[in-house]
Amino acid sequence: MPGSVPESEIQRTRFPEDFIWGAATAAYQVEGAWNEDGKGESIWDRFAHTPGKIRGGVTGDVACDQYHRYSEDIALARQLNLKSYRFSISWPRIQPTGVGAPNMKGIDHYSRLVDAQLEATPTALAGDSAEPRLNRTAEAHVILTPAFGLRCRQKGH
């Protein structure tokens, strides 16, 4: 087939010795617990719960249940010898209405997740947006990423 890589070249190709294997997840796709512990509605919750938007009406309400099973997920990553893991933060879990006081149960969840992750591997962060805060997502990154990054640096990562 034109443009395809010859099998002989594929067989010779190797990743560099210092290549870092890792994984990435998106909060909506893995967390579940969509309406637990004070989490607000996200843009994905609203979309998935709107009839006719997704074939079969499937949602991320339970997903992989990482909210309750994150320690098992981290253990699996360790078994796979992954050295990097990028996960996203569900902003409505931290600030349910998009403004006002933070949801301490959401903060506590991510604090436990970050602490467990720091024991296992380096971490990078991202986020999604609370439905009422749709146009202000960038502010979440400005607030959260430096705060968790500081914790990573303080713990030697």
* C-alpha torsion sign, points 20, 123, 96, 38: positive
3-state secondary structure 40-73: CCEHHHHHHCCCCCCHHHCCCCCCCCHHHHHHHH
Does residue 8 surpass a pLDDT of 80? yes
| pTM confidence score | 0.71
Q: What is the pLDDT of residues 9-44, one digit of tens each?
A: 888 888 888 888 888 899 999 999 999 999 999 999
Tens of pLDDT, residue by residue over 66-91, are: 999 999 999 998 899 888 888 889 99
Question: Residue 5 — φ and ψ, nearest 5°?
Answer: -85, 130
**Residue 104 confidence (pLDDT) above 80:** yes
